[in-house]
Each structure stands twice: as structure tokens, then as C-alpha cells.
């Protein structure tokens, strides 16, 4: 059965006539009540943010029964996903059409990801460790520095709360998938603690179904062991000291045309300690020291192992001050990045010192936000970025906001120092130490309608990225320029007890010189989701899809990827007060599709789990 993308757009359109029938419950939409920090680095209500920001709560994660963070993100507006296989395989996240390395990923405020290839390793971070996720769409280098050209994904790990909350979850599913997760969390007086540990296993499926190599016809599995912990203690009346740790240890098997069963070991570590002091009623100081590591060990042929290990040591001192009717942000950051690899890099260390200033507030019907940041990098010198945003509530139910901002991405260690290698008949391949940072200028304007429990949004953005680093000649060079332009439409509401969420994205992500579309980025994508809670039952369904796209930036008929739509559904049943069962079925119509040319995707599959959580 073939589902056309137009059906998804029609489904979104059908939501709007129902808005007038939405229940008027007398309280604001939960989406508007959420507090976000990623949009400004300070706590603000989602309804006051002058940027496109979204929160995925722990309750939503639990009830929907998603099996991976990548799966969860792929159904969100502005995000497209590419993967070279099943669970644990190399995955690329494109926010608003920007490159995979243009998304900054934070865990509890700390940078994570590889500094050799410049991309985050989201496929190894299990949902069991996550309390909630904040997605910031659009450039944010004026707040966070390098990498935030397309947006920011910030993951907040689970924390304890008053009382005692142990939990246990076991699950099994298609492809011999199984999961085991255990957690304890709680708090006494001003002490909070949490500890989560577990493992994931799956035999996977054949990631290269069209390959003629006999060694590529096996299933490609994934295993992952993980843990996270946190401890926070209130000091005096208003101060706090805390520590958090995260560790994942995964291995993904893949096809390399070798008789040997090739695999990649992927490990992510993150740790931080913070001290928060309420110096005066209007002044809060937060010191944070953090460390993250990204480990990659590639065993392609059974003879040798390639090693790419990166460490990031981070320090920040942020001051939040109520000033002049708004909130002032002043911060200093230090970042040191180190590489240990089997490749012979000319340099394996760099550092940066950064200063951040921001100020924002609301004045009657007007809202403003200004941010500026200067990064002094030991590799390429100084870089200054800034942003300005304005919002106007011109009607009790309507507001408009607009912004302009600059962003950049520092060249990766691969871009700069990958050793030159030459192959007869194929040419040479290697880094370029003369590379400049990639630069971006983004302009956007948005319109928001809030009526009772309904929120509708429309956003237009235009992001011009220059000095893009291009490897098409084999040697990295700043020769490419991209135009990322699009419109995001979305609505969430309640209709007769049903929660509805729909979005449609239109994107033009092109190479400016050639006019070709950037690889693996569709011009249209859409999502329609519905869920309902009735007593002990919660059920929901999702319809997601993408239009046609090209696998590579040099667009040809041979590398065109067809559009697709996927139907997923889930059921959550509270068996007893502390016991629940969850069933999730993905790709129910068994759609055959590709996210990367030549790589397979999962057919119809299901996962069922039993959860105990003391309330």
C-alpha cells in the first residue's frame, strides 16, 4: 500500500477545522507551560521564547514507547534523519537542512560528540537515561559558540525528586531485540539522587540488502550497555552543589564487503560538577566543570583497528542578573579538545576562551533578546557572533517574532589534519590546515496563535552558509556555499479528549553554485500524531513522511531516493498502580524505503515492555 506525502499534508490541514471544537478546559496548553533553558541559557516559559523551541517530556517518552532517541527525534518538525543501517548505525541529524555537523548536542549543558568527524553520536544515547529533550531550531552560536549553525539538541538526564522512586523495565521485540533497565531515584530534605543502568541488544537486519557480496548478507546487530547518575545537595537556603555522570558503551556491526564481521565500538562519556550560588536576590552564579569523551574503534577487516578518541574538557561560569526590567546573562567559558588516534595528525589539541553576553525581557506587548559571543580559538583566532530578536503581542491570541543571527563551525580535526593519502587511479585524500571556519547568517520570522489549549505556529527562515568545507576533490577546502530556506507549519491542540500534533515543513537546501539539492534532505516532510488517555489506557498513532531527495549533492537520476510515509502506533496500559505495559509498532504497513542509498531500513516491527515504577 502506497501512502503519498500529500496525504500527510492533508491530515495536517484537517486539524484546523477542528480547532474551534477543541475543549476549553480553562488552563493553558501544556506546551506553553513548559520551561525551557536552551533558547536563552536561562529559564523562560516556552510561550515567551523568541525562537523555535520544542520540549519532549519524560512522560511523552515513556508512554510513546520509542525504542531510540533517533526514532524520537525523526518525528519532530524541522528534523530529518539519515542512517546507514539499523539500531546503532552511523546516523546524521539535519536540522533545517544544515549539515550533520551543524547540530550542537549538549548533555546537561556539556558538549558531547566527536571532534574528529564533527558529528554527534546520538545513536548510542538510550532513552532510559533521558528526563527530557529540548530542541532549538536555528543558529545559536551567539549563545553556544561553534557547531550551532542548524540548531541545538540538549539532553537532560534523569534526576531525583522528593521520596523514593525505584523502577524496573524489561522488553522484547522484533529482530530478537531485548532491553533491561533499572533505576533508583529519590530525595530527602534538600538531597536529590538518581542512578539508572541497563542494556540494549538486537540482532538487527541486513543493512545492505542490495549488495552482491556474500559477506554483506548477514544481519547487522547492535548492543549497548549504559548508566547515568546524579547527586545534588542544597546548601544553606538557596545554594546547590551537584554532580552528574553518563556512560554508554555500544558496538554496531556493519557490512564492509569483507569476510570478517566488521564492527564499530562507540562509547560516550560525560561528567560534570556544578555549584550554584544565589549571591543576592537578583544575582545567581553558576560554576560548572565538565568532561566528555567520544570513543570510536573501527574493526573493518579483522587485521587492524582504527582508533579515533576525542576528549573535551569544559569550564563555565555563568551569571544571571535581573537588570533593567529584564534578565542579564554574562558568562565565561573555556574548552579544550584533545584527539588520540591511530592516524598521524599534525596537531592533536586545541583550546578556546569565550565570553558571552545576553539580555532580554518583556515590556508590555514587546519582547526583546540580544546575545553576543566572542570565541578566541588557539587554532584560527577570534570569532564574534551575535543575534537580535524581537516579539510583539499585537492581539491577546496572536504574536509575531523575528530575529537575525550569525553562527559558525570550526573546522574539525579531520578537516584540518587528516593525513594525506594517495591512491593510484583515485587521487589524493586529506585535510587542509589553511581552512577557515564555516559562517552562517540566519533571518527568520514567525507567527504564533494561542487559543485555549491550541497552539499554531508558522515560521519562515533563510540561512546562508558560506565557506562550507567541501571534500569533493579529495582535499578539504572552503569552496562551497549553501542556501537553507524554508517554512515550518505546526499545530497542537486537544479535540474531545484527543491530543493532536501536526506539522508540515517545506525546505530548499541547495548548493548555491551548482543549484543542486544537498544530499539526503527532502523538500517536504510532515508529521501527524494523535493520542488519547482513557482511564488505565493511553494509545496513540503517528504518520510521518518525507518527499523525494537525492543521496548526494551532485544530483543525478541514479542517486534519487524515493519519498516515503510510515505509520507507527503505541499502547500504554496501567496494569496496576505501579505496573504498566507498553507496546509500540513501527512501520506497520511494512514500507520499503531508504534513508541512505544502498542501505536497508526496518520493515514492520514491534516492541513490548513491562514496567514497574513505584509512585
Q: 494 pLDDT exceeds 70?
A: yes
| pLDDT tens digits, 381-421 | 999 999 999 999 999 999 999 999 999 999 999 999 999 88
- What is the pLDDT at residue 29? 53
Query: What pLDDT digit, counting tens, does each position of 596-605 carry?
Result: 999 999 999 9
pLDDT averaged over the chain?
91
Rounded-to-integer distance, Cα 49 and Cα 38, Å: 10
Other Cβ atoms closer than 10 A to 423: 9
**pLDDT at 184 > cutoff 70:** yes
User: What is residue 481's predicted lDDT score, i.e. its pLDDT?
Assistant: 94
pTM over the 0.75 mark: yes
pLDDT attached to residue 1: 37
Q: Are strands 427-429 and 524-534 parallel, antiparallel or unpaired?
A: unpaired
Q: What is the DSSP letter of 517?
A: B
Confidence class for position 28, pLDDT limits 50, 70, 90: very low
Beta-carbon contacts of 558 under 8 Å, excluding residues fewer than 6 positions away, are none
Give the pLDDT score at 31.
54
Range of the domain at 581: 5-613
Q: What do you get for the CA distance between the two ends of the chain, in Å?
A: 43
CB-side exposure of 239: number of CA atoms within 13 Å? 12
Are 579 and 21 spatial neighbours (Cβ–Cβ below 8 Å)? no
Q: Is the pLDDT of residue 11 over 90?
A: no
CATH code (residue 403): 2.40.170.20
pLDDT of residue 120: 82
pLDDT band at 124 (very low <50, low <70, confident <90, very high): very high
Whether residue 25 has pLDDT greater than 60: no
What's the total number of domains in the chain? 1
Res 8: pLDDT? 44
pLDDT tens for 519-555 read: 999 999 999 999 999 999 999 999 999 999 999 999 9
For residue 88 the three cell numbers come to: 546503532
d(CA 256, CA 254): 7
CB burial of 290-312 (b: ≥16 within 10 Å; e: otherwise) equals bbbbbbbbbbbeeeeeeebbbbb
pLDDT given at position 2: 40
The answer for 145, left when phi > 0, alpha when psi is -120 to 50, beta otherwise, is left
Three-state SS at 270 = strand
Across residues 239-246, what is the average pLDDT? Answer: 97
* 558 pLDDT higher than 50: yes
How many Å apart are CA 433 and CA 379, to the nearest integer?
A: 9
Across 450-468, average pLDDT: 96
Nearest to 466 by CA among 523, 415, 406, 515: 406
| pLDDT one-digit tens code per residue, 286-328 | 999 999 999 999 998 878 889 999 999 999 999 999 988 899 9
Mean pLDDT of the 271-282 span: 96
Amino acid at each position: 500500500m502506497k501512502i503519498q506525502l500529500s496525504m500527510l499534508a492533508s491530515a495536517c490541514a484537517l486539524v484546523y477545522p477542528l480547532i474551534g471544537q477543541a475543549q476549553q478546559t480553562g488552563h493553558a496548553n501544556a506546551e506553553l507551560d513548559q520551561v525551557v533553558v536552551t533558547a536563552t541559557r536561562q529559564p523562560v516559559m516556552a510561550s515567551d521564547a523568541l525562537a523555535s523551541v520544542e520540549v519532549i517530556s519524560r512522560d511523552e517518552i515513556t508512554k510513546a514507547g520509542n525504542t531510540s532517541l533517533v526514532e524520537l527525534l525523526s518525528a519532530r518538525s524541522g528534523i530529518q534523519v539519515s542512517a546507514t543501517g539499523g539500531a546503532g548505525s552511523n546516523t546524521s541529524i539535519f536540522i533545517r537542512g544544515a549539515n550533520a555537523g551543524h547540530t550542537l548536542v549538549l548533555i546537561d549543558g556539556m558538549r558531547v560528540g566527536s571532534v574528529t568527524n564533527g558529528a554527534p553520536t546520538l545513536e548510542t544515547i538510550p532513552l532510559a537515561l533521558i528526563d527530557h529533550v529540548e530542541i532549538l531550531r536555528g543558529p545559536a552560536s551567539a549563545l553556544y559558540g561553534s557547531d550551532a549553525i542548524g540548531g541545538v539538541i540538549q539532553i537532560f538526564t534523569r534526576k531525583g525528586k522528593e521520596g523514593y522512586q525505584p523502577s524496573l523495565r524489561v522488553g522484547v521485540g522484533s529482530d530478537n531485540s531485548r532491553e533491561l533497565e533499572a533505576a533508583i531515584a529519590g530525595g530527602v530534605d534538600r538531597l536529590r539522587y538518581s542512578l539508572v543502568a541497563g542494556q540494549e541488544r538486537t540482532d538487527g537486519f541486513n543493512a545492505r540488502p542490495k549488495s552482491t557480496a556474500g559477506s554483506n548478507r548477514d544481519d547487522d546487530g547492535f548492543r549497548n550497555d549504559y548508566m547515568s547518575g546524579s547527586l545534588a545537595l542544597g546548601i544553606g537556603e538557596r545554594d546547590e552543589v551537584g554532580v552528574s555522570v553518563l556512560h554508554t558503551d555500544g558496538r554496531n556491526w556493519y557490512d564492509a564487503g569483507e569476510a570478517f564481521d566488521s564492527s564499530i565500538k562507540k562509547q560516550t562519556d560525560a561528567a560534570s560538577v556544578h555549584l550554584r550560588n544565589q549571591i543576592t536576590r537578583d544575582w545567581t552564579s553558576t560554576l560548572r566543570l565538565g568532561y566528555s569523551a567520544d570513543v570510536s574503534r573501527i574493526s573493518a577487516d579483522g587485521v587492524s583497528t582504527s582508533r579515533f578518541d576525542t576528549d573535551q574538557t569544559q569550564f563555565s561560569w555563568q551569571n544571571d542578573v535581573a537588570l533593567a526590567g529584564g534578565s542579564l546573562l554574562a558568562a565565561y567559558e573555556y574548552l579544550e579538545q584533545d584527539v588520540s588516534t591511530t592516524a598521524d595528525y599534525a596537531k592533536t589539541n586545541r583550546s578556546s576562551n569565550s565570553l558571552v553576553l545576553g539580555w532580554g525581557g518583556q515590556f508590555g506587548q514587546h519582547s526583546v533578546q540580544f546575545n553576543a559571543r566572542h570565541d578566541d580559538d588557539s587554532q584560527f583566532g577570534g570569532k564574534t557572533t551575535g543575534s537580535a530578536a524581537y516579539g510583539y503581542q499585537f492581539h491577546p491570541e496572536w504574536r509575531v517574532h523575528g530575529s537575525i543571527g550569525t553562527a559558525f563551525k570550526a573546522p574539525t580535526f579531520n578537516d584540518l589534519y587528516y593525513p594525506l593519502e594517495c591512491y593510484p587511479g583515485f587521487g589524493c585524500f586529506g585535510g587542509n590546515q589553511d581552512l577557515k571556519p564555516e559562517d552562517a547568517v540566519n533571518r527568520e520570522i514567525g507567527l504564533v496563535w494561542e487559543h485555549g489549549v491550541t497552539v499554531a505556529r508558522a515560521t519562515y527562515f533563510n540561512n546562508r552558509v558560506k565557506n562550507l568545507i567541501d571534500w569533493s576533490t579529495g582535499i578539504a577546502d572552503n569552496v562551497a556555499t549553501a542556501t537553507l530556506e524554508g517554512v515550518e507549519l505546526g499545530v497542537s491542540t486537544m479535540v474531545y479528549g484527543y491530543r493532536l500534533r501536526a506539522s508540515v515543513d517545506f525546505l530548499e537546501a541547495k548548493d548555491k553554485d551548482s543549484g543542486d539539492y544537498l544530499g539526503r534532505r527532502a523538500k517536504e516532510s510532515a508529521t501527524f500524531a494523535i493520542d488519547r488517555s482513557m482511564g488505565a489506557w493511553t494509545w496513540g498513532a503517528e504518520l510521518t513522511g518525507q518527499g523525494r531527495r537525492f543521496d548526494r549533492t551532485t544530483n543525478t537520476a541514479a542517486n534519487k531516493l524515493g519519498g516515503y510515509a510510515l505509520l507507527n502506533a503505541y499502547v500504554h496500559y496501567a496494569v496496576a498502580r505501579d505496573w504498566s505495559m507498553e507496546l509500540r509498532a513501527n512501520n506497520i504497513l511494512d514500507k520499503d524505503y531508504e534513508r541512505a542509498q544502498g542501505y536497508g531500513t526496518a520493515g514492520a516491527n514491534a516492541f513490548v515492555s513491562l514496567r514497574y515504577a513505584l509512585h
